[in-house]
Amino acid sequence: MVKVGILGAGGMGNVHARQYRKMSDVELSFFDPLPEKSEAFAKQWSATPLDSVEQVIAKCDVIDVCLPTDMHQDAGLRAIASGRAVFIEKPFARTFEECRQLIGAAEDAKVPLMPGHVARFFADFATGHRLVKSGAVGTPAAARTRRGGLAPMGSHGWFRDYERSGGVLVDLAVHDFDWLRWTLGEVKHLYSRSVGIQTGSGPDYALTTLTFESGAVGHVEATWMDPGGFRTTFEIAGSKGLIQHDSRQNVALRTTLEGGKTFADGAISATDDPYFKQLRGFLDAVKNKTDVPVSAHDGAMAVSIAMAAVESAKTGKVVVPERV
């Protein structure tokens, strides 16, 4: 059995627990300081509640950090210092420097460390990446992505405090910065505009223009100002054709609850769930002592691009992302 310990029983802690419950080789423990969340989580997932971060790290082989973003680095460093394999939700950490410290600590301790870039495990994004890499549309020239819905709150409203979440560029666009860098290569420089960056809280919308070292250009739109529900789109134009994706067009199942709340789902099996694939890939790499599916270096570079976008949105200047 693998002893997995989740830190944070909020939105993502629950998404992860649902996946671990599909795995017969996982024994689940967790810690969340809010008693009502802790009780509900323990009951729903048959997971063992512990009393502190330290207890989770002491008991478990694998630590899964589902905490607010500004708490990722501290929890990650503590788990690494105890020799644990560590998974950290995206964004890998709140700043690029924090990412660097996590990487250095994991290299010194020789422990597996993986950031949660789940977009890579969504079928549309995985297939889009594979098609581009296989030359299906020739040489990529231009890419456009859009991601968003309404601004989440999170526990005690932490998402809406940009000191904690980084706003829409660090929290949301980071998915697309990672996917585009994975698919098109390194970013040479970028320019970004955001409506939320001046207030530092609340709803936000940002548009970032990227120039890749290959010469390709991209634009990444991220919004917390769309009441129409969460949606992702992308488009990659190459010398031989165009690939397009729109999550609203590909819906197989739509569930509407009393009160009007609507969920849209693809028809996927339990093990096709991108969150399952991501976590199973991580655990298998830990068990087999192979490379984790998404490297810590990639997680850090996605944050580097996001932080460059924040700087550009603040200064109005073109910014070159830092390298690990």
Ligand X SMILES: NC(=O)c1ccc[n+]([C@@H]2O[C@H](COP(=O)([O-])OP(=O)(O)OC[C@H]3O[C@@H](n4cnc5c(N)ncnc54)[C@H](O)[C@@H]3O)[C@@H](O)[C@H]2O)c1
# chain residues binding ligand X, by CB under 6 A? 25
Measured at CB, which residue is nearest to ligand X? 10
Q: Six-digit token pair at 150? A: 């309404």
The minimum distance between CB 174 and ligand X, in angstroms, equals 8
Of 279 and 286, the one with the shorter C-beta distance to ligand X is: 279
Give the x-and-dash track for 133-162 against ligand X (CB under 6 A): ---------------------xx--x----
Positions in 16-35 near ligand X (CB under 6 A): 31-34
Of 53 and 106, the one with the shorter C-beta distance to ligand X is: 53
AA letter at 114:
M
Q: Six-digit token pair at 124? A: 């549309």
Of 53 and 237, the one with the shorter C-beta distance to ligand X is: 53
Positions in 218-277 near ligand X (CB under 6 A): none
Q: Six-digit token pair at 239? A: 């010398």
The values of phi and psi at residue 144, to 5°, are: -135, 130
CA distance 31 to 222: 31
8 binds ligand X per the rule CB under 6 A? yes
The minimum distance between CB 33 and ligand X, in angstroms, equals 5
Q: What angle do CA 100, 29, 61 make, to 5 degrees?
A: 50
CA distances, 261 to each of 224, 227, 252, 254 (Å) = 18, 12, 17, 10
AA letter at 303:
V
Which residue in 78, 84, 90, 164 binds ligand X (CB under 6 A)?
90
Assess contact for 27 and 3: CB atoms under 8 A. Answer: yes
Residues at the contact surface with ligand X, assessed by CB under 6 A: 7-13, 31-34, 37, 53, 66-69, 89-90, 116, 118, 154-155, 158, 171
